[in-house]
């Protein structure tokens, strides 16, 4: 019988590889990141377990997700600095794999209409819009297209600011889970 693992087993940080300060083949020290990356991938292929390789992949995806979030946050901040009330939706989808999978989708008439509606609501609609602009495509920007196994589309009822984060059935760490999501988690 296979051993069961908890979610925390998958989220443990990967062990760091130690690089010797003097290369064993008496060549020049590694000077740039691409050479270091090639060197580590060679080590990874030869000496790492499949679990370690999975952790490396996970950490790469996590780093890319954080970069995408930073790009979106910067675009929203820049627009506020330029006295623009909102960033166009097509500028908030930054994950390359989704852009390749959905080329021009946000340019189609239905999407343009939706983008205009969301823009008007953000600029002065009667109700607040959740999640914040930089998190509108958080689910897509956090997950490469080829890693998606299923998509669940629905409306998450969030009752207050700071709860919605663009990911279904979740709230940011440190935020009390709203009653609409508290389904027997006590």
Q: What is the pLDDT of residues 18-58, one digit of tens each?
A: 554 444 444 444 445 555 666 566 655 668 899 999 999 99
- What pLDDT is stored for residue 21 in this prediction? 44
Q: What is the mean pLDDT of the chain?
A: 78
- The crossing angle, in degrees rounded to 10, of helices 33-47 and 50-81 is 150
pTM equals: 0.68
Task: Give the C-alpha separation, 119 to 72, whole Å.
Answer: 16
In the residue annotation, 156 being an active-site residue is answered as yes
For 45, 58, 59, 82, 185, the CA distances from 19, given in Å and listed in that order, are 16, 21, 19, 46, 44
| Count, residues in the chain | 186
- What pLDDT is stored for residue 169 in this prediction? 80
Query: Exposed, middle or buried, 137 (CB in 10 Å: 0-12/13-18/19+)?
Result: buried
* Catalytic-role residue among 9, 83, 156, 182: 156
Task: Give the C-alpha separation, 134 to 95, whole Å.
Answer: 13
Closest C-alpha to 92, from 131, 41, 34, 45 = 131
Q: What is the pLDDT of residues 161-175, one digit of tens each?
A: 888 888 878 888 898
- What pLDDT is stored for residue 38 in this prediction? 62
Q: What is the pLDDT of residues 72-107, one digit of tens each?
A: 999 999 988 887 778 888 899 999 999 999 988 888
pLDDT mean over 146-171? 81
pLDDT at 186 over 60: no
Position with higher pLDDT, 157 vs 63: 63
């Amino acid at each position: 019988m296979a051993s069961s693992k908890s979610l925390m087993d998958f989220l443990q940080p990967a062990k760091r590889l130690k690089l010797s300060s003097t290369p064993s083949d008496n060549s020049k020290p590694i000077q740039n990141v691409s050479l270091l990356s090639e060197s580590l991938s060679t080590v990874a292929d030869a000496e790492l377990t499949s679990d370690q390789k999975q952790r490396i992949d996970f950490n790469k995806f996590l780093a890319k997700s954080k970069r995408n979030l930073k790009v979106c946050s910067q675009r929203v901040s820049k627009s506020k600095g330029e006295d623009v009330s909102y960033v166009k939706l097509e500028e908030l989808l930054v994950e390359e794999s989704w852009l390749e999978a959905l080329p021009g989708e946000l340019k189609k008439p239905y999407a343009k209409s939706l983008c205009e509606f969301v823009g008007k609501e953000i600029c002065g609609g009667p109700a607040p819009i959740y999640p914040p602009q930089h998190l509108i495509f958080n689910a897509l920007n956090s997950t490469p297209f080829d890693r998606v196994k299923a998509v669940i589309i629905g409306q998450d009822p969030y009752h207050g600011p700071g709860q919605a984060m663009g990911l279904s059935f979740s709230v940011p760490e440190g935020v009390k889970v709203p009653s609409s999501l508290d389904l027997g988690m006590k």
